Amino acid sequence: MASTPPRRPPPRSPAPPSRNPNAPGRGKGGPPPRPSNPGGRDPGGAPGRDPRPPRPPKPSESRAEARGFGPRPPRGAPRAEFAPAVPAEAPPRFRDPASPRAAPRGDAAPAEAPRGRDRRGMGDTRPPRQVEAPPPPKAPRPTQAAVARDAPPGGTIWLHGLHAVAAALANPRRRPRRLLLTVDAEAALAETLPPPWRVPGERVERNRFQTFLNEDAIHQGAALLTEPLPPLPLEDAIAAHPGPVLLLDQVTDPRNVGAILRSAAAFGAACVVMQDRHAPPETGVLARAASGALEQVPIAREVNLSRAIVTLQKAGFWVLGLAGEGTRTLAEATPRDRRVALVLGAEDSGMRRLQRETCDELVRLPIAPGVESLNVAAAAAVALYELARETQIPDAVIEEEDAA
């Protein structure tokens, strides 16, 4: 009996073509089909298995949210609505013992505001930068015509400063010609010296003073054009006032001379004697440093200072020269029955030889050994104070000392 052959399954009909032009295998639009198993074997086989572990599912809370920075803002949202949230308390491992957050809960200090930019650049938390106001514009420089108009004529000087101008207007020996004042200076001068003044005031702006003064001159908005004071003979000066006399040997700095005049006015000196050549003339700088004392203390100018010393000795003065090599101090050598004249030399060279030999005695000031000398203006102030203190001692104390 013949055997029948096995029945084969009918062939499958081909799938209908896809209408998608990007489908795999149709035209050039799509990529080739991706095999389900890259290894070519069963998924359980070793060669075809992916060595990377499966990716864990994404948690519902992001890492930034876990740290307290709030949710990530969507694109286009304003930054102020999604400001980073500041954690109420830092983690224990980042807590600083010196920080105010480390205090107990009962005494907890308020949390400080975050500084600088936040971690994601969401905004600048620093305080706003204070913009400084621009400096005021400089006044225009004076023209040549203004400089020529305010130039002092021959034989006149400009005095500047409220004290110097007020004292010069009150001095009957002065001959003022012009008075320039700003609005504020006019009101201040009226309080010190009530008007009417000897010359009418001209109201000007502050840049007007640059036509005849230096840019660094402290004029306080007041200037007076006047003639220098007439010279006063030495004999008339010592006869008009009973105080001591100061003689300056080649002191050329006008500021030092002005400070000496101020001390002389404070301690009641009769006059200040200077040379004609090696001494500063009367200028606005000297008057400004004297602060009105130029009108109170007369200045006697002599050709030869040693001859002036001899003149004072003949008038009954005891002439003392301040020098560091003096054997006695000024307090020990000051006589109480005669008037005293003090000779002060320049700071660098001191008194000259002829003046040293003409003085009755060389005295010194009691200063510390580490200090070589004092400024001539400071030495004059200390010496005048010592003379004023000695002359004001009561007579009863003097009699007791003489009896002892």
Q: State residue 120's pLDDT score.
A: 53
Supply the pLDDT for residue 276.
87
- Residue 322 to residue 356: CA distance in whole angstroms: 9
Percent of the chain with pLDDT over 70: 62
Q: Does domain 234-394 have CATH number 3.40.50.620?
A: no
Share of the chain above pLDDT 90, in %: 45
Q: What is the mean pLDDT of the chain?
A: 77
Q: State residue 341's pLDDT score.
A: 96
Is 60 exceeded by the pLDDT of residue 46? no
Does residue 244 or residue 120 have the better pLDDT? 244
pLDDT greater at residue 313 or residue 5: 313
pLDDT at residue 14, as a whole number: 62
Top-confidence residue, 394 or 93: 93
Sign of the four-CA dihedral 378, 379, 381, 386: positive
pLDDT score recorded for residue 394: 44
Q: 60 or 252, which is more confident?
A: 252
C-alpha–C-alpha distance, residues 171 and 292, integer Å: 10
What is the three-class DSSP state of 299? strand
The listed range with the strongest mean pLDDT (7-11, 16-20, 368-372) is 368-372
Spell out the residues 6+ positions from residue 350 whose beta carbon is closer than 8 angstroms to its own: 323, 324
| Model confidence band, residue 207 (pLDDT cutoffs 50, 70, 90) | confident
Higher-scoring residue by pLDDT: 208, 266? 266
Q: What is the mean pLDDT of residues 42-52?
A: 54
How much is the average pLDDT of 169-181?
Answer: 93
Kindly give, in sequence order, each residue whose CB lies less than 8 Å from that of residue 127, ignoring residues fewer than 6 positions away: none
Residue 317 CB contacts under 8 Å (≥ 6 apart), including other chains: 238, 245, 338, 339, 340, 341
Q: Report the pLDDT value the prediction gives residue 217, as an integer from 0 to 100.
A: 83
CB 172 within 8 A of CB 219: no
CA distance 211 to 15: 109
* Cβ–Cβ < 8 Å for 209, 223: yes
Please choose, from the candidates 169, 192, 170, the residue with its C-alpha nearest in 3D space to the C-alpha of residue 180.
169
Higher pLDDT, 80 or 354: 354
Q: What is the pLDDT of residues 359-395, one digit of tens each?
A: 999 999 998 888 888 899 999 999 999 999 877 644 4
For 249, other C-beta atoms within 10 Å of its C-beta total: 25
Do residues 166 and 189 lie in contact, with contact meaning Cβ atoms separated by under 8 Å?
yes
**Was domain 144-226 assigned CATH 3.30.1330?**
yes
The domain locations on the chain are: 144-226, 234-394
pLDDT (0 to 100) of residue 404: 46
pLDDT category of residue 148 using cuts at 50, 70 and 90? confident
Residues 6 or more apart in contact with residue 173 via CB below 8 angstroms:
229, 230, 295
Helix 254-266 × helix 376-391 angle, to 10°: 10
Residue 397 predicted with pLDDT over 50: no
Tally helices (H) and strands (E) across the chain: 12, 11
Please answer whether residues 382 and 388 qualify as being in contact, where contact means their C-beta atoms are separated by less than 8 angstroms.
Answer: no
